[in-house]
Amino acid sequence: MTVLSAGCAVSRSTAPGTSPSQPVPSETLAPSIFYEEGKLVFLGVNVHIARFSLDADPLPVEIAIANKGIELLSVSPEHITLRSRDGDAWPMASEEESAGSSLRSEFDRNLMPVPFADAVKLRFPNYRHMPSTFGLRGGNRSMTRAVEMRRHTWTLTQIWFPNPGGELKGKLYEVWLDSPELPEPVFTTVRF
């Protein structure tokens, strides 16, 4: 396991009984909800809605970020990327690129065994929620603005990434958060 100075364990390269060549995803809050948590931030990623549309472009996921130990944490679309285990990176799709994509994912989100928002609220019951959406849009949970999160606040939003292509089912990818206030970026390893 790699630990960054941000206090967030960011890569579980091995698990008990595995070798370094067998990477594993991050811990889970519920089926398809992966997370990493340190002293400064929590980064959760829900790939449930992506699993229904692995051929879609752009590819939908939901993220949750909790500010645990930074006075003011900036989070914007520019700070979030999808990365392959080989080092390829894809920035979050723009609002224009993902326009009209949220209606299907709203339906898929309702099929989740454990709603993502509920799982995060249970983990941080005393934290205040910070919306990261602005205006109305189908699915109305899309990240459309930057948020400045004070300590003990959290946000949850849906985002899209360009589809990396190829067979995604069962593959490991990383969702990175590189806010300027973090000493180092943090990421959560997910399995599609």
Q: Can you give the pLDDT at residue 136?
A: 43
Query: Around Cβ 110, how many Cβ atoms within 10 Å?
Result: 9
> Do the strands 128-129 and 153-161 form a parallel or antiparallel pair, or are they unpaired?
parallel
Q: Can you give the pLDDT at residue 100?
A: 61
Alpha-carbon distance of 89 to 176, in angstroms, equals: 10
Assess contact for 179 and 8: CB atoms under 8 A. Answer: no
Phi and psi at residue 12, to the nearest 5°: -95, 85
Query: Around Cβ 145, how many Cβ atoms within 10 Å?
Result: 15
Alpha-carbon distance of 32 to 11, in angstroms, equals: 17
Tens of pLDDT along the chain (192 residues) come to: 334 444 454 444 444 444 445 679 999 998 899 999 999 999 999 999 888 889 888 898 999 999 999 999 999 889 999 999 999 999 998 777 776 655 555 556 666 667 888 999 999 999 998 876 544 444 445 676 788 999 999 998 888 899 999 999 999 999 999 999 999 999 999 999
CB burial class (10 A; 0-12, 13-18, 19+) of residue 17? exposed
- Is the domain spanning 2-14+28-191 CATH 2.60.40? The answer is yes
Q: Can you give the pLDDT at residue 132?
A: 65
Alpha-carbon distance of 8 to 11, in angstroms, equals: 9
Assess contact for 174 and 82: CB atoms under 8 A. Answer: yes
